[in-house]
Amino acid sequence: MAFDYEEIDGIINAGSMAIVGASAKPVKFGSLFTATQLGFGFKGKVWLVNPGEKEILGHPVYPDLASLPEAPELVYLTIPAHRSMDTLRECARLGVKGVIIMAAGFREAGEEGAALEEEALRLAREGGFRIVGPNCFGIYNPRNRLALLPGHDFSHTPGDVAYISQSGGFSAHVGRQCKGLGIDFSAIVSYGNGADLNEADFLRYFAADPQTNIIAAYLEGARDGRLFMEALSEAAARKPVVIWKVGKSESSSRAVTSHTGSLAGSSVIWEGLLRQCGAIEVSGIDETCDVLLALKHLGRKPGRRLLIAGGGGGLGTYAADLAEEEGLEVPPLGGETSFRLRAVLTAPGASVGNPMDIGTPLVLPEVFEASMREAAADPGTDILIFDLALNFGYGLGGEPGLNAAADTLLRVRREIGKPVVLALYTRAIGIEDMHFEEILRRLRSRLLEGGVPVFPSMRRAMRALTLINR
């Protein structure tokens, strides 16, 4: 069907909704999603529908859609596949705008399921409504507080990243991990089999959506290759688009077919296609989140020339190896920068150069500040990247010392204007070391709030910097 911005917008920004199959019985998706949505504070009316229940969490339950006081704009279906068709007919009759079908058991499950999916699609076409799914979670939108995924604790703050996913689980994983990284969303859409609205539709929608500045997606396949390629090219010309495409091996493409019934396609074709369209290709949830974090704080193509700093000679050497592997640059320091740094870093064990070794992870605050300022002022590099093993740094300055170092890096970033990136991690990972993890999370928040992206390893930092420069 032709792309229609308003149709999709009507679903994502729905003003009223009904949950069909709402339940109070624990361990059912119906109850999990009902509780999540009720707790999340949807800004319009929510009606619950289930002929077998009377009340859920203090809300009345209606026996069917026809009994509702008015027709909902959006219907969320949590009932089994084979029992969904009658409800879809009712949706058509009532004039709802969109239906999210959560249940599995459609195309991905074989012939019988495929017939059901065809029937659902026919009912949607005739009834004038659009379908998200089936075999999906649904939509998270902090603006109208739609929370149709396992995300009761998701952020209420609207952001500018849109995430589109064929996997429901991944949509929840990305949302949760990004929350810990201070990345907020315009919306997350889990669309499963994509029987009706698919990747091309959502790409076009978020490309046009004024709230969205960055788009990321998890794809198992594309319904229509040509349409998808057009949508992707158009979207990538307007904003960064991050694509994770799975199903490139024989075994994973078997899995794709049984997961969302998609045709995965060959890896070579996909890689070429994504590059040609201007997308950033990633692999895995971690890499997706790392790239979103890098894009948020550094933008697209911030430059490849790194100044690597840290306390310990091995760290810098390793980081330089990683940079070279990734195609980033670690140019020798300019003469003037070297001269100025040599006046600051005088202790034995310190080494002025690129990579630069300040001696230990934390040095005297005035030395740390002066060396970071001189390093950031180096005109031959685009980004200052600092390596900090937090448990080691803690031993030298405690949490106040770590906070002071973080504040120095934030000041340098603000006053000198050079992007600063941190690899921040702890090697103390035992049960008895939880306090280091707590300090790490506090320190990470402090840095993220001030515009310094923090990655859990030098390897992941280097990879993210490489990808946003492509």
Task: Kindly state the smallest distance separating residue 398's Cβ from a copy of itself, in Å.
Answer: 11
Residues numbered 244-283 forming contacts with a copy of itself, rule: CB under 8 A: 246-252, 254-256, 258-260, 283
Please state the closest distance from residue 309 (CB atom) to a copy of itself, in A: 11
* Among positions 38, 48, 103, 131, the unique one binding a copy of itself when judged by CB under 8 A: 103
The only residue of 67, 349, 398, 415 in contact with a copy of itself, by rule CB under 8 A: 349
Does position 403 interact with a copy of itself (CB under 8 A)? The reply is: no
CB atoms within 10 A of CB 438: 11
**How many whole angstroms separate alpha carbon 103 and alpha carbon 136?**
7
Cα gap 48→19, rounded to integer Å: 5
| N- to C-terminal Cα separation, the chain | 33
SS3 label, residue 420: strand
How far, rounded to the nearest angstrom, does the alpha carbon of residue 323 sit from its chain's CA centroid?
Answer: 24
What is the closest distance, in whole angstroms, from the C-beta atom of residue 409 to a copy of itself in the complex?
19
User: Looking only at residues 293 through 312 of this chain, which bind a copy of itself when binding is defined by CB under 8 A?
Assistant: 311-312
Q: Please state, in angstroms and rounded to a whole number, the distance separating the CA atoms of residues 274 and 269.
A: 9
Closest CB to a copy of itself among residues 177, 213: 177
**Shortest CB 171 distance to a copy of itself, Å:** 9
Is position 3 an interface residue for a copy of itself (rule: CB under 8 A)?
Answer: no
Position among 66, 263, 269, 434 found at the interface with a copy of itself (CB under 8 A): 434
CB of 412 to a copy of itself, least distance (A): 22
Instruction: Give whichever of 232 and 289 is closer to a copy of itself, judged by the CB atom.
Output: 289
Output the smallest distance, CB 199 to a copy of itself, in A: 14
Contact status: 355 vs a copy of itself (CB under 8 A) = yes
Distance CA 460, CA 299 (A): 17
| Alpha-carbon dihedral sign for residues 294, 295, 297, 298 | positive
Least Å distance, CB 61 to a copy of itself, is 23
How far is it, in rounded angstroms, from Cα 11 to Cα 78? 17
Which lies closer to a copy of itself via its Cβ, residue 61 or residue 341?
Answer: 341
Contact 219, 248 (CB under 8 A): no
139-141/185-190 β-pairing: antiparallel
Subset of residues 163 to 192 that bind a copy of itself, contact rule: CB under 8 A: 165-170, 172-173, 176-177, 179-181
Nearer to a copy of itself, 41 or 284 (CB): 284
Sheet holding 420-425, edge to edge: 356-357, 306-310, 383-389, 420-425, 454-455
Give the footprint of a copy of itself on residues 196-255 (CB under 8 A).
218, 220, 246-252, 254-255
Total residue count of the chain as it appears in this document: 470
Applying CB under 8 A, among 105, 225, 278, 450 the residue interacting with a copy of itself is 105
Q: Which of 443, 378, 380 is nearest to 416 (CA)?
A: 378
Tokens of 195: 């029987």
In the shown chain, the binding pattern of residues 44 to 83 toward a copy of itself, with x for contact by CB under 8 A and - for none, equals ------------------------------------xx--
Quote the tokens at residue 379. Answer: 């005109």
| CA dist., res. 75 & res. 68, Å (int) | 12
